[in-house]
Chain A
Amino acid sequence: QKEVEQDPGPLSVPEGAIVSLNCTYSNSAFQYFMWYRQYSRKGPELLMYTYSSGNKEDGRFTAQVDKSSKYISLFIRDSQPSDSATYLCARGGYNKLIFGAGTRLAVHP
């Protein structure tokens, strides 16, 4: 079993839809979780960063961690074509990150 599991998609939604991206993780010892966004032919960039359980909101993006079920989620409200990218979840710890496989999202007008 991979330490961080993520459905690679692809996921295709119409503009304005609410998008839900999800990951599961296996090691409950770690408390830092991140979402990176990667546009085509670019390196990943940090989108959201959460510590422990709960929600964190930034504009149209909400990151959620449920430690009881070992679930990490990213919600995108009012999705835009510019949100089309690959989204990678990661858990942090010991100066390293463990990434999920990444979910490719396409938002069509």
Chain B
Amino acid sequence: DVKVTQSSRYLVKRTGEKVFLECVQDMDHENMFWYRQDPGLGLRLIYFSYDVKMKEKGDIPEGYSVSREKKERFSLILESASTNQTSMYLCASSSRTPAGNEQFFGPGTRLTVL
């Protein structure tokens, strides 16, 4: 059974803390993605990576950074958490095709910043 796992289901942090969200996939996929999901706004792409050590900004990269040192692992970093980063964070992976093929999602991390 193919899987995308995320390090935490629920996380509570304080304003100004550095936050690490980790994602691991076991499908040998080239592409990995980080989204945030907010009511009424749907899924918004933060960053994606199409290869190890490669990254590209998505639609809302401000306040976030990412790291991809190994093919199976993609980390999202909030350098200094703020209350407006309270959200559901979803990681996904996909194989590399021109069409932007099926993405497989993890279960999500619900982050609350106090």
Which of the listed residues A46, A95, A102 has the most CB atoms from chain B within 10 Å of its own CB?
A95
Chain B residues, Cβ within 8 Å of A42: 107-108
In the complex, the 6 A-B pairs of residues with the closest C-beta atoms, listed nearest first = A43-B105, A92-B100, A101-B42, A99-B43, A32-B99, A99-B42
**A74 is an interface residue with CB less than 8 A from chain B:** no
**Residues on B facing A (Cβ under 8 Å):** 4, 31, 33, 39-43, 45, 48, 50, 58, 90, 92, 94, 96-108
Most chain A CB within 10 A, of B4, B39, B99, B108, is at: B99
In the bound complex, CA of A101 to CA of B50 (Å): 25
Asked if A95 and B105 make an inter-chain contact with CB atoms under 8 angstroms apart, the answer reads: no
The yes or no answer to A60 lying at the interface (CB within 8 A) is: no
Interface pair B48/A96, CB less than 8 Å apart: yes
Contacts of A92 in B (CB 8 A): 99-101
Contact A49 B102 (CB under 8 A): yes
CB-nearest residue of chain A to B42: A101
Report how far A51 CA is from B98 CA in the complex, Å: 13
Least Cβ–Cβ distance between B31 and chain A, in angstroms: 6
Mask, A77-100, CB within 8 Å of B = 1, is 000000000001000111111011
Closest-CB distance, B35 to chain A (whole angstroms): 8
Contact yes or no, B103 A100, CB < 8 A: no
Please encode chain A, from 34 to 47, with 1 for each CB lying within 8 Å of some chain B CB and 0 for all others: 10000001111110
Closest to A101 in B: B42
Check if B105 sits within 8 Å of A96, measured CB to CB.
Answer: no
- For residue A7, give the distance in angstroms from its CB to the closest CB of chain B: 11
